[in-house]
Chain A
Amino acid sequence: MPGAYTGDEAAAYAAKQCRVDVVAAYPITPQTIIVERFSDYVADGEVDTKYLYAESEHSAMSACVGASLAGARVFTATASQGLALMHEVLYLASGLRCPIVMAVVNRALSAPINIHGDHSDMMGSRDCGWIQLYAENAQETYDLIVQAFKIAEEETVQLPVTVNLDGFTVSHATESMKVLSDEDVDKFLPPRKPIFKVDPETPITVGAMALPEYYYEVKRQQEEAIQKSKGVVKMVGDEYGKFTGRRYGFMETFGLEDADAAIMCLGSTCGTVRSVAKDLRAKGKKVGLIKLWTYRPFPTEEFLSTIKDLKALAVMDRAISFGAPYGALCSDVSSALQNTGMDIKVMNMIYGLGGRDTPPSTVREVFDEALRTAKTGRVKERIRFLDVRE
C-alpha cells in the first residue's frame, strides 16, 4: 500500500504493525514523533501495547529490558543524549540477550548543544553489543524495523537491534513509500517465541554475578551470537525481498561491477552519493557506492569480495573518533583490509557534523579525489574534514 510518511512516522507505523507488547520511552528531538504517534495508537485503542512513560531514557531502557525478559516484544526509540543516557543499560539488553528493537534517530551529541543529524550518538555506543542497521530513507526505516524484530528474535540470535535513521533528513522529511498490510506483516513476523523468560512458575536467576571464572565465557558466547547473526540478517533480508520485492542484506552497491573508485557511507547521504555517481557514470567515470545497511555485525567477508576490483575507496564518517587514526567506519574498513594483500587506497572523509549539509558538489569533490588516487596510487590526505571553514 502506498502512503506518505516521515521517517519517524514510518518507524511508529512499523512498530504498530509488528504488534509490539510493550513500548517504554522518553521523548527527545528528533525522535519525539515516533513515540508521539505511537501513543496516539495506544490512546485511540488501535494497539494492545502497554505504553510506559518513563522519567528518563535510562529508565525507559531498563523497563524495556524487564519487559523483554518477561517474554514481551519490545520497541523503543531515542536519539543523541537519550542514547548516551541509556548507554549503561544498552549493555544489559545485549548481555541479557533481550531482542528489543530500537529506532535511533541519529543526532549530534553535546557540547555544543545541537539537535541536528550526525552519527556521533550511535558511534559513541558502537560497542554495546547491539546489531546496528542504518536506513537511507523512510522506506528503509519501515522495512528495516519489520526485519529487525525477525532478526532479533531468531532462536540463535536473541540480541537487540537498533535501526538508525538520520535526524531531520529522514526523521522529518515526508516521502512517498510502500507499507505492507497488517495481514502480510503478521505472515512475515509471527508472535515472539522467547527461548527463556522470567516467570514465577519456573524461577530462574537473570543478571547474576559472573566473576573472573565465568564472565569471559558469557561474553565470548555473546560475540559468537552477533557474528553468527550475519546468516540470519541475510536470510531475513532475502525473505523480505521475496515478500515485498525490496531485498535487503548487508549492503547495497551501485556501479561496483567496474568501478575504479567508490564512496562508502551510512544512512541518508547514500542518496546524494548515488545520484552524483549516476551523473558521473553518465560522463564515463567509473565510480560507485557502497551503502552499508548492516554496520554491526560488520560483514567483513562480503565487504571484501564487493571491493576486490576497486583501486580507491573514500570512506565517509559522520562522526569523529577523537584522537583515533580514522573515523569509526574507516577504522573498520582498514582493519577488514588488513592482511588480505589487497591494494586498495583508502581515504577517510569526515562530514556533516551537527547537521552540516553535504551537497552534491561536496560528493563530487570526494569522487574526484578518489578517482585521482585510483590513477596515481597515492593518497594525498589520509583524513579530510569536508565543508569545515578553514
Chain B
Amino acid sequence: MKLSWRKTPIAGIIFEPGSSAEYRTGDWRIEKKPIINQDKCIRCLICWIICPDVSINRLQKPYGKYEETIEVDYYHCKGCGICSAECPVKAIEMVEESRVVA
C-alpha cells in the first residue's frame, strides 16, 4: 500500500521492527539460485551465519538423524552464491533458475 505524503511517517522512519522482511528482494535474483542437498548437509550453520541477506532458514523439521532442516528463503535470497562457496561439504549447488523445476 502506497501512502500519501501526508500519511508518510515523519522523516521516513520505520516504526515497526523487522518490516524489511515484507520487501521481497528475491525478485532481484538473476541467473542462479542455491539448492541445498539435505543428505550432504552436516548442519554446521556456516551458511546461516554468513548469508548477507539472512536468507537461510532453520526449520524445526527433522530430517534423517538431524532435528533441523536447513532451507533457503527464496523470497529474499538474492543469489549471491556465498553460501555455496563457503559450505564445507559442498552441499549447496547454484543452479540456473530456468533449469529448476519447482
Residues of A within 8 A of B (CB): 95-97, 158, 195-196, 203-206, 208, 210, 213-218, 220-222, 224
Contacts and interface: CB of A to CB of B under 8 A. Distances in A.
Nearest to B18: A203
Contacts of B2: 213
Interface residues of B, number: 15
A205 B11 CA distance: 10
A216 B3 CA distance: 11
A111 B14 CA distance: 43
A210 B15 contact: no
Contacts of B15: 196, 204
Contacts of B10: 97, 158, 195-196, 221
Contacts of B4: 217
State the majority secondary structure of interface residues on B: loop
Nearest to A209: B12
Contact of B13 (A196, A213, A215, A224): A196
A258 B15 CA distance: 55
Given A203-B17, A206-B13, A214-B8, 19 more contacts: A95-B12, A96-B11, A196-B15, A204-B13, A204-B17, A205-B14, A205-B17, A205-B19, A208-B12, A213-B2, A214-B12, A216-B5, A217-B4, A217-B5, A217-B8, A221-B6, A221-B10, A224-B5, A224-B6
Given A203-B17, A204-B17, A97 B11 contact: yes
16 contacts: A95-B12, A97-B10, A158-B10, A205-B13, A205-B17, A208-B12, A210-B12, A214-B12, A217-B3, A217-B4, A217-B5, A218-B12, A221-B5, A221-B10, A222-B11, A224-B6
B50 to A, nearest CB: 23
Interface in B1-48: 2-6, 8, 10-15, 17, 19-20
B75 to A, nearest CB: 19
B3 A204 contact: no
Contacts of A213: 2
B76 to A, nearest CB: 16
A222 B11 CA distance: 8
A208 B10 CA distance: 12
Contacts of B12: 95, 208, 210, 214-215, 218
A224 B5 CA distance: 10
Contact of A220 (B5, B11, B17): B5
The 5 A-B residue pairs whose C-beta atoms are closest, nearest first, are A205-B14, A217-B5, A220-B5, A218-B12, A217-B8
A205 B10 CA distance: 12
A205 B16 CA distance: 8
B7 to A, nearest CB: 9
Contacts of A158: 10
B14 A218 contact: no
Interface string B65-87: 00000000000000000000000
Contacts of B6: 221, 224
Contacts of B20: 205
A208 to B, nearest CB: 5
